Structure 1
């Protein structure tokens, strides 16, 4: 239940041209925060001192400027890289001061106790959101009666003169908004992992995967082998088998068998059996030939 806060992205797009112009002129985000407070003070003065119907236009213009400056200060700081912790603190203080100033414009128009109750109630939603953020939950904005709705109700009061009913709606609606945000933050903190924690885990895993990919693509540099002054030795030839060793069946004559003539043997089964001729065999063959 974000209410009119859901229109913030659309509103930010409408202000993108102005944001670029402010960045080009190097306007400080703190200046925009102060300008928002000044617009809220002007709207409160118009609401308190001007009659009901004519005050509506001026109150509407000034509160529109207050919302625009509240949107621009943080966006400008992010775009220009000037986000600081002091700037975040000043932004929160400026928002609370602007809310209280708008409620102060009802002082001449409503009972003091109602104005005080409304002033206290308008600060509750922001305190709940800040407490949830400090505990680790995401920042929760919007609601049934958030900052945008309160500004719209102030314009309604300036146009109609119904200050007391409008102020009562502001007080009650702000309290309901605080309760809605508190319940949302309570549920978020009760989960094992909040949305922020999950995003951090995913980002960490992606970073680790990227580091592993980069490490795997690095070439492996091997140390150069030191040059040796000693000449390399050639491997010694393997010892030749003894001539007396008998060849196996089906083997071809080797290099060391060429010193002895071979006797063609019998051929059986496609395998030729050969054996070496001894001197006695050669003598026998010569006598048989004679």
Structure 2
């Protein structure tokens, strides 16, 4: 199950002009990791105040940065292990910052109890990535996508910023979906490693 991650090739094609421009100018892929983090920070502020049009814009920038760092590295043929590390740190930091904005929104609109559920959701949202990185460390395929990956979380955060009263339900969806995604990835990894 790839979820909205299946749209990545389409989104990558939309970003191709940025890749070509970065190659022409010799821009570092790390610049785009930084752009993604800045987009996430701006999105977090917008989420905290339920400014949903800005949430959409800044999350699009966050996802573009996450997409472009690897695309530029491959296009410029400058991929390196440290770039992978920076990419992963940038993605995790961006995820936590955006979820922090959602926690602030929950606290502002529903109080500390709902904000704590969002914090639980933020922790649960890290599990699919842990599963994927553990798989890659064992020599298996690094899996991305759903049923509830980064792109689905971004969509749910947008919905919460449009309808803040739904934040608690969205947080529980993130918890459940993240657990299912992590387990799905681990099952696929177990099958792959067992077959090898």
CA distance in 1, matches of 2:125, 2:47: 18
State the shift of 1:112 in Å.
3.9
Query: What residue number does 2:111 align with?
Result: none
User: Displacement, 1:113?
Assistant: 2.8
Find the residue that maps to 1:156 and give its secondary structure: helix
1:175 CA drift (Å):
1.2
Q: Retained in 1: the 8 A contact 2:32–2:69?
A: yes
Shift of 1:189: 0.6
Structure 1 residue 107 and structure 2 residue 110: aligned? Answer: no
**Partners in 2 of 1:83 and 1:36 — Cα distance?**
18
Superposed CA offset, 1:189-225 (max 9, x none)? 1003xxxxxxxxxxxxxxxxxxxxxxxxxxxxxxxxx
Q: 1:5: how far off?
A: 0.6
CA contact (8 A) 1:3 1:142 kept: yes
Q: Which residue of 1 aligns with 2:160?
A: 157
Q: Which residue of 2 aligns with 1:60?
A: 56
2:37 is aligned to 37
1:143-167 CA-to-partner distances (Å, cap 9, x unmatched) read 1110000000000011111221111
- Identify, as 1 or 2, the structure richer in helix: 2
Q: Pick one of 173, 177, 189 that aligns with 2:177.
A: 173
Match of 2:11 in 1: 11
In structure 1, how many angstroms separate the alpha carbons of the residues matched to 2:160 and 2:8?
A: 23
What is the alpha-carbon distance in structure 2 between the residues aligned to residue 35 and residue 122 of structure 1?
Answer: 22
Q: Which runs of 5+ in 1 are unaligned?
A: 193-290
Q: Distance in 2 between matches of 1:27 and 1:164?
A: 41
Deviation at 1:169, TM superposition (A): 1.0
What is the aligned partner in structure 1 of residue 186 from structure 2? 182
What TM-score results when the alignment is normalised by the length of structure 2? 0.92
Alpha-carbon separation, structure 1, partners of 2:168 and 2:38:
25
Contact 1:143 1:181 in 2 (8 A): no
1:67 deviation in Å? 0.6
Q: RMSD between aligned alpha carbons?
A: 1.1
- Pick the structure with more strand per residue: 1
Segments of 5+ residues of structure 2 without an aligned counterpart are 108-113
CA contact (8 A) 2:102 2:157 kept: no
1:120, distance to aligned residue in structure 2 (A): 1.0
Q: Which is higher, the Rg of structure 1 or of structure 2? A: 1
Residue matched to 1:258: none
Matched residue pairs, number? Answer: 188
Q: Provide TM-score, normalisation by structure 1.
A: 0.63
1:210 maps to none
Aligned to 1:140: 143
Separation of aligned partners in 1, 2:18 and 2:115: 39
- Higher RCO (CA 8 Å, separation ≥ 6 residues): 2
